[in-house]
Structure 1
């Protein structure tokens, strides 16, 4: 008995990408971004015979040094003794899972969604948002008009810093999604003053980021003893659910029901209101208040600032890491020195920042 081969089985190696592009045309929503219709790369490259353009971007991000460093960067709690607290890497993976679920259900481009998800937090500093605030403050000591934002740094990493200064040369759609993912403390649905992604895939990541961090930060905060479920707004839990998985499921279903067949991805109604109330509670009681870890965060912010000042004053102390871009500091104008030191400090992991601070600021035992 013989079996006829499918069209995919009969493909020659140089036809795999074209076959996937045809499948996108057949399956994806009219509102989805087709990889064959990308606005392209800053530096044009030959097409890959197997992978679509967004698959190539995903792979480049996944294999980057900046992505690997996320495993040693704080999400909320610095150097947790408990193995189950999130890091910036596990946050990224949770965002990717939720965003891909949304994209698949809405028949959007899952590869584009995944690529944006994996890259959206590459620019985060050591010690989470506290480190970001410290780096922003110390940068302004040298340039009052300067500012540090992790989403801008994420784009700089993929455009310039990776591959020893060559960058990853990602597609326009992935770069746009990286820059448009951040909301800060603003409510979902409030877009004034924020740059939204141009694609629905980017909007999936933007919403998935909020869904992921609200829920996993509640989980980590309860585990750390910073808050109890009874402390959370009970009316919000009545709407969203009393367990981690129930809340995520409720939020995801609302996004799907509000967005299916529409040229937008959004959360609406009582679910949106309850989600925003949980977010406000976390900002007031965990992210911005003097919780149990605030003393340690103060120390972490001090380290970030002192390392920055050290390298501005003595740039020759820059590490001799293999992948560090080389600079001739004697010839650099001040703004470019600031840029180079910002890149270096922002790229540190928590433990590398601690080790480097100890090396330069903590005395060693004298040898007699």
Structure 2
């Protein structure tokens, strides 16, 4: 047997009946010969891991804009933490870990510079709207590999598109959806404590007494609760989130923690003081490139011809890192300093 065939055989031996099996994938938009070494989902994971958009995540904001320190999360470290949590959930529930990992690694590829502040501004500016989960799918379908796309399987594409608020077609997609929230809520607490915005004791005891008094304890509680409650058939689930569910007590505390973070951090002026400047930069860049399409790189000019100027400009700006966006803004709008002789 080829290594790929051995892996496919192992999936049918070990995975639960609700898992997605690599040899039963619904396929790709463009048919390809199979790899002798890797399953279809393993190939997708590798394609995402090696693509340019994935590398750029290391210079994109998670929550804190341009933090003065090396230990704050970026969009890349967030993605890696989501992947680790999602894989833990998938392994324990005997879901397809390769599919889960591929979805997790690709779920934020379409995120803008400056985090959700940048996303909100592009959503305001574009007549088509802008959402990072839709852009992530556009990245893997169209923008990567100089416009050729990554040609991923439909299961991975579905999980990427639906990781935020839609009904995923696979249980692996649900695992990533929960892992995403578990990761960002807890690492954002960690970063907020590092920034002096929060102290651990600020979190209400009604939450910490249930979930735990540290980041790792809370993650463990949330993940274990999901695993202990298992997988539920779609027809017996209470809404789409009922397919994976926590215990009533843990879910209540989790929702209280979510609300606490929005009130204390995500809308905190100390945390968001620079967001307006970042959004103004994006607005200036958007206006400049829609008025000067010839200034776009050649690939994006071609995209403008096929998809319209607004969409191509969103493609270009959303792909920028924080640093590149700032440098581009300086080059376009700030006069060069006089040279001192």
TM-score class, shorter-chain normalisation, is over 0.9
In the aligned structure 2, how far is the partner of 1:34 from the partner of 1:316?
46
Unaligned runs of 5+ in 1: 1-10, 183-193
CA deviation map 1:92-123 (0-9, x unaligned): 00000000001001111000000000000001
Unaligned runs of 5+ in 2: 235-242
* Structure 2 counterpart of 1:317: 295
Judged with a 3 Å threshold, the aligned counterparts in structure 2 of structure 1 residues 228 and 328 are, in CA distance, closer, same or farther, namely closer
Q: Residues 129-168 of structure 1 correspond to what in structure 2 (within 5 A)?
A: 129-139=116-126, 143=127, 146-168=128-150
The two structures have a TM-score, normalised by structure 2, of 0.93
The counterpart of 2:274, out of the listed 293, 296, 299, is 296
* Structure 1 counterpart of 2:205: 234
Q: Residues 269-284 of structure 1 correspond to what in structure 2 (within 5 A)?
A: 269-284=248-263
- Which is further off, 280-289 or 345-354? 280-289
Q: Residues 1-368 of structure 1 correspond to what in structure 2 (within 5 A)?
A: 11=1, 15-139=2-126, 143=127, 146-182=128-164, 194-259=165-230, 264-290=243-269, 292-319=270-297, 324-327=299-302, 332=305, 336-367=308-339
1:175 CA drift (Å):
0.5
In the aligned structure 1, how far is the partner of 2:8 from the partner of 2:272?
50
SS in 1 for 2:308: helix
In the aligned structure 2, how far is the partner of 1:316 from the partner of 1:261?
53
1:66 CA drift (Å):
0.4
| Structure with larger Rg | 1
Higher helix proportion: 2
1:286 CA drift (Å):
1.3
In the aligned structure 1, how far is the partner of 2:80 from the partner of 2:135?
19
Contact 1:207 1:266 in 2 (8 A): no
The two structures have a TM-score, normalised by structure 1, of 0.87
Judged with a 3 Å threshold, the aligned counterparts in structure 2 of structure 1 residues 22 and 222 are, in CA distance, closer, same or farther, namely same
- Which is further off, 265-274 or 296-305? 265-274
Contact 2:103 2:160 in 1 (8 A): yes
1:319 CA drift (Å):
4.4
1:242 CA drift (Å):
0.3
In the aligned structure 1, how far is the partner of 2:135 from the partner of 2:172?
21
SS in 2 for 1:152: helix
1:352 CA drift (Å):
0.3
Judged with a 3 Å threshold, the aligned counterparts in structure 2 of structure 1 residues 328 and 287 are, in CA distance, closer, same or farther, namely closer
RMSD: 1.7
1:295 CA drift (Å):
2.6
* Structure 2 counterpart of 1:191: none
SS in 1 for 2:274: helix
1:34 CA drift (Å):
0.5
- Which is further off, 260-269 or 87-96? 260-269
SS in 1 for 2:167: coil
In the aligned structure 2, how far is the partner of 1:20 from the partner of 1:270?
39
